[in-house]
Structure 1
Amino acid sequence: MANVSTLIPAIVIPLFFVFIFAIILFKKGIKFIKEREVMVIERFGKFRNILHAGVHFIIPFVDRPKTFYYSYYLDNPITGYKELKEAYNLTRISTQNEVIDLPKQSIITRDNALLLLDAVISYKIVNPKQMIYSCNNLPNILSKLLQAQLRNITGSLEIDQIIEEAASLNVLTGLMGNEAQKWGVEIIFVKVQKVEALSLTDVLAKKKNADLKNKEIIINAKNHKQTKVIDAEAKRDYMVKKAEGEAQEIISKAKGKAQAIINVAVAEVRNIKEIARAVGLDTKKTIDASKYILTMKYLEGMKEIFGLAGTSVKLLNPETAELQNLNLFGVTSVLPPTTKFLKTD
């Protein structure tokens, strides 16, 4: 009996350790993967394969799952404070759509307004191998990237655009998606849930007043410009009408003078014809009559010259001077008898 009592512990204890070791091997060698989960397996620290949903067997102590961790802050909707969420030594990678409610981001708009934006991001891991080998703490990386993109976008917008046109921030999804592709992540959407400001009412009121003043300045400038245009057009039309009137007046005066000259000429022609008819000349040969008229004009002019004060006149031989002048104009005359040819009693 003594031998049996000593034999049982010697057998049971090794069997117990064998049983424990078998359990450890079973736990490490068999992996149960749920739907929409994957596990990255490494062999001696090198990538081996990816386990999808189902039961899988691996070599214990040779094959091991690749671990990862996350640590990031969330807004607690109950307390309103930031809450640290973290986990370490994770082996199962979820391929479902994940949603992270990130802390409020402080941003400054183009018109120097300080705002707090409460944003939420939804993403999905599409390449587990690329994700686990290219980045650490994926949620924190996405949070920092979203913060940077928010500041870049909102810095080029004004406060009223951010509040009234929420669609202006939809470009965040595309920008985030382009950056997240290198981590094997697809960005589903990025939404801004709430916009807060310490004095949002005052900011909007100032913005409204500034817009109204700008509009008033623009309207006044347009009215002033239109008034100048109208004045310029009126002056132009006045100058055109005035020039046309002056031109018409000059033309009318010229026509009047021309008509007067024509009338005088016609009257002179008639006068010459009447004189020619009176002296018995042929009206078809009006040259003699015209010479007569010119002679009379000449004599009238000489008469006016003689009548001027301070005029000195020297006459030719009184017996022949005027007759010589008449001969110059083609008038035939007979010399009067002089004293030389008169007989004395």
Structure 2
Amino acid sequence: MEIGTYVLVAIVVMVLIFVKMTIVIIPQSETKIIERLGRYYATLKPGINIIIPFIDHAKEIVAMKNGRYVYTNTIDLREQVYDFDRQNVITKDNIQMQINALLYFQIVDPFKAVYEINNLPNAIEKLTQTTLRNIIGEMELDQTLTSRDTINTKLRGVLDDATNKWGIKVNRVELQDITPPQSVLQAMEKQMQAERNKRAAILTSEGNKQSQILQSEGDKAAIINKAEAAKQQAILNAEGEAQARIRKAEAEAIAIGKITEAVGKSTNPANYLLAQKYIQMLNEVASGDKTKTVFLPYESSNLMGSIGGIKELFKGE
């Protein structure tokens, strides 16, 4: 009776083991490649799958985990990232520097990823390194440091085409670090300092130039304003003198008219005015410096005639 119990327990255990080996549960975003008697049989989908134990088995592949190559029979269909070690590259102008790259890819065809390449992570790493060397070798140092997007685009295009037959989709490639030699860094720093000094000198000279231009324009405007002011002053002075002469002439005309009315038509008013001016001049000469001798050439007959005219004027009054 005890032997029968042991046999029954053994049969139950074997059935459970057989059932466990028959049922394969695949998590979401993962898959397995099943081979039957050494040949490809099926690609398992997420969920519950049934296989034949000891006849069907999952194909093992090489994967990268924690920076190491490991064998596993589960294929991860999610996007993965490979952080490659620094590698030395040489630019077109023979400058050696170190570059660290990140590769984002995704397995889209598990069958090709298993059967078209032996060591997928190693193949991707070596292809990335050689492609990156070729791209950097076609560019000079300055272009390399300022064209990361161009390098990423070219590298992704080449890797995507090359890995297509492996069932891989390269989504993007990023350059983490580009490290030139220390001597090149020092030279670049000196060059940048020289460029800054150059820009500062240019800005200073431009400022001085603009200052001189503004100052000359200000001087020009001041000269023009002074000339305009002098011109307006001269015009106003001339107009004032003209108005004064006109008013004086008008006043003299009025005076002559009054004198004519006073002396009458029988007497010439010009004689009166001439005599008046003459007497006024003699008075000014007489009141001048007594030490000087003044000779006054004149015609006594004209003077006496004027005085006579004044006498007649007084008689008329």
- Which interval holds the TM-score relative to the shorter structure? 0.5 to 0.7
Which one scores higher on RCO, CA 8 angstroms, separation ≥ 6? 2
Inter-partner Cα distance in structure 2 for 1:85 and 1:131? 18
Shift of residue 60 of structure 1? 1.0
Decide which of 19, 27, 31 is 1:38's aligned counterpart.
31
CA contact (8 A) 1:160 1:204 kept: no
Map of 1:236-247 to 2, 5 A cutoff?
Answer: none
Shift of 1:182: 0.9
Aligned length: 192
Match of 1:171 among 136, 154, 163: 154
User: What percentage of aligned pairs have identical amino acids?
Assistant: 29
What's the secondary structure of 1:103's corresponding residue?
coil
Q: Which runs of 5+ in 1 are unaligned?
A: 1-6, 75-83, 212-345
| Cα separation, 1, equivalents of 2:62 and 2:110 | 14
Which residue identity does 1:120 align to in structure 2?
Answer: L
Relative distance call for 1:166 and 1:71 in structure 2 (3 A) is closer
Distance 2:110 2:4 in 1: 47
The answer to whether the Cα contact below 8 Å between 1:102 and 1:120 also exists between their aligned partners in 2 is yes
Paired position in structure 2 for 1:201: 185
| Displacement after TM superposition at 1:11 (Å) | 2.2
**Within 1, Cα distance between the matches of 2:128 and 2:189?**
29
Measure how far apart 1:146 and its partner are: 0.4
For 1:16 and 1:163, how far apart are their aligned partners in 2? 71
Higher helix share: 2
Give the counterpart of 2:5 among 9, 12, 37.
12
Which residue, 12, 15, 21 being the options, matches 1:28?
21
Aligned positions of 1:1-345 closer than 5 A:
7-8=1-2, 10-70=3-63, 84-88=67-71, 90-169=72-151, 170-199=153-182, 200-204=184-188
- The AA in structure 1 aligned to 2:171 is I
CA offsets per residue over residues 263-287 of structure 1, 9 Å max, x none? xxxxxxxxxxxxxxxxxxxxxxxxx
d(CA) in 1 for partners of 2:104, 2:118: 18
Would you say the 8 A contact 1:161–1:168 is kept in 2? no
Specify the SS of the correspondent of 1:204: helix
Deviation at 1:107, TM superposition (A): 0.4
Distance (whole Å) between structure 2 residues aligned to residue 158 and residue 29 of structure 1:
60
CA distance in structure 2 between the partners assigned to 1:70 and 1:137 by the alignment: 8
The one-letter code sitting in structure 1 at the alignment partner of 2:161 is N
Shift of 1:198: 3.1
What is the Cα deviation at residue 187 of structure 1?
Answer: 0.5
C-alpha distance after superposition, 1:22-68 (max 9, x if no partner):
23212211010111111111111111111111101111111111111
The change in CA–CA distance for 1:114 and 1:208 in structure 2 (over 3 A counts) is: farther
Please report the TM-score for the alignment, with normalisation by the length of structure 1.
0.52
Shift of 1:186: 0.6
Shift of residue 207, structure 1, vs aligned partner? 7.8
Deviations 1:233-280 (A, max 9, x none): xxxxxxxxxxxxxxxxxxxxxxxxxxxxxxxxxxxxxxxxxxxxxxxx
Question: 2:62, 2:121 within 8 Å by CA — same for their partners in 1?
Answer: no
For residue 169 of structure 2, what is the amino acid of its counterpart?
E
- List structure 1 runs of 4+ shifted beyond 6 angstroms: 206-209
Q: SS where residue 143 of structure 2 aligns? A: helix
TM-score (ref. length: structure 2)? 0.57
Cα distance change, pair 71–53 in 1 and its aligned pair in 2 (3 A): closer
